[in-house]
Amino acid sequence: MEVLEQIKLLKEQGISIKGITKATGCSRNTIRSYLSQLETGRSSDAKKPSGNENRQEFERLLPDYVEELKRTGVTRQLLWQEYLVSHPQGYGYSQFCFHLQQYKERDKATLRIEQKPGDKFYIDYAGKRPEIVDRETGEIVKAEMFIGVLGFSGHTYAEITRSQQKEELIRSVENGFEYLGGVPQVLVSDNLKSAVQKASRYEAELNRDFLDMANHYGVAVLPARSAKPRDKAWVERMVAILYTRIYGRLRNEVFHSIEEYNEALRPLLEEHNNMLLQGREMSRRELFEGQEKSLLKPLPIERYELKEYLHVKVMKNCHVCLHVDKHYYSVPYAYIGKKVQIIYTSRHVSIHYLSQRIALHLRNRRPYGYTTVKEHLPSSHQFVSEWNPEKFLEWGRRISPDVESYIQNILDRKAYPEVAYRSCVGILSMEKKYSKERLINACKRASSFGLYHYKAICQIIDKKLDNLPPEEPSAELSLPFHENVRGADYYK
């Protein structure tokens, strides 16, 4: 699901199928198949492109062809043959090779890529790590400096973090979006392990949680190519600048916590963004505020929550267990016996079957508790879903305070709620089968002997012991005389 959403976002940014393949790791056929499902209203008799349009289309393919030539076994002849399959009216072999060589010559020079406002946000960590000194031991601990920069204005965000771990990276990216007050179109990341599981020149494999975070904010992710510093030149240059404007300015300061370092960093970051750009009469902030901020997408109402994943089987009682909390959540009864996926955050628990959500609950961390939606259960089981201590205490209270007290003792003594609830239902139902008075007397007698369970009430009523006066002991409960019973006098 995460990858399909990224394909859609990347296509909306005008990225070619080849580029989407590199960014997501999906095959071209998979991408074409998915995009064909999204396209509507395509005319079957489209106008044949002009020569100029044909040339523009060919030039868009050249960067990918140059990269493909670096792969083992790939030749110009092979690329030309593949080109003709999709462009039957395209260039001949000699013209194909000529234009490809011309592009390769131009590509050797360092070109300034035109940046569009609100388009790309480049992120990376500084190579030189800031130092935190433990106040108690004096130990020097290496931290990290996260940096994000907008390609158009150069408006920069930076913060000190404890590590480059996934959770830290996601929080830093979110903080960067909050600082900008909006979301750019594309997030260009370095091949960080917390963002890219498997770096590749052709098909980078993105971390699932990082991809999920990007989808939450509606931003496409384009990992920079390995060993290609020009892909992230903006952020690399900004790292070098911030070494002077932050590291250099704070080189004589000693910081005992991440919070202290960030507090000192913030005014220097503001100063950096407010400095006039070289050769221009405006600062990064002025350029950002005037031409870029309005083009950013709005922030979502809620920040992203890191998700955890678990596969379980739906039990016969229409519930699944989130083992980390030992808590049970209901699922529609049609999925009994099916293997489903639980996706949970700090606040929510959602259950999915074949990539479709079938249930959503607020997370409850009470061990052995049940969170149940009545409609998830078969009609014969829906009454059971309403069982809870308050229900049974109120039921007992309507009969008599003595019955309520007896029910309370049963609830207090049973290890598992379900066992106690069944006992309560059995006892309280005797009011209709016998009478209110008999049930009250039976509860009183059982309480006097300290017997708190369903069978005790059954035996008292069956043997009509509830009719005996409370002070009169029952002959049924005394030991009968037998010659083998020695008695107390034997031990004197």
Q: For 78-87, 145-154, 407-416, which range has the lowest pLDDT when averaged over its residues?
A: 407-416
Q: Indicate whether 4 pLDDT > 50.
A: yes
pLDDT, average across residues 149-169: 90
Q: Indicate whether 479 pLDDT > 80.
A: no
Residue 349 CA to residue 357 CA, distance in Å, equals 11
**How far from the centroid of its chain's Cα atoms is residue 385's Cα?**
29
Q: Per-residue confidence at 160, pLDDT binned at 50, 70, 90?
A: very high
Nearest to 387 by CA among 409, 419, 359: 419
Residue 79 CA to residue 77 CA, distance in Å, equals 6
Residue 77 CA to residue 91 CA, distance in Å, equals 13
Residue 399 contacts residue 439 (beta carbons within 8 Å) = yes
Q: Per-residue confidence at 113, pLDDT binned at 50, 70, 90?
A: low
Q: Indicate whether 482 pLDDT > 90.
A: no
* Residue that the structure tokens 């931290």 belong to: 143
What's the pLDDT at 43? 36
Query: How does DSSP assign 255-270, residue by residue?
Result: -SSHHHHHHHHHHHHH
Domain ranges of the chain: 2-107, 120-295, 308-384, 387-477
Model confidence pTM above 0.95: no
Q: Indicate whether 293 pLDDT > 90.
A: yes
Q: Per-residue confidence at 196, pLDDT binned at 50, 70, 90?
A: low
pLDDT, average across residues 327-331: 93
Q: Indicate whether 201 pLDDT > 80.
A: no
Q: For 259-263, 448-452, 466-470, which range has the lowest pLDDT when averaged over its residues?
A: 466-470
Q: Per-residue confidence at 416, pLDDT binned at 50, 70, 90?
A: low
Q: Indicate whether 406 pLDDT > 60.
A: yes
Sequence-separated contacts (24+) of 346-349 with Cβ below 8 Å: 346/305, 346/306, 347/305, 348/305, 349/322
Q: Hey, how many other C-beta atoms are within 10 angstroms of the C-beta on 423?
A: 22
Residue 401: CB partners within 8 Å, gap ≥ 6?
A: none
What's 83-132 look like in SS3? HHHHCCCCCCHHHHHHHHHHHHHHHCCCCCCCCCCCCEEEEEECCCCCEE
Write down how long the chain is.
492
Q: What average pLDDT does the structure give for the chain?
A: 81
Side-chain half-sphere CA neighbours of 165 within 13 A? 7
Helices (H) and strands (E) in the chain, counts: 17, 16
CATH class of 120-295: alpha beta
Nearest to 156 by CA among 96, 245, 230: 245
What's the pLDDT at 473? 46
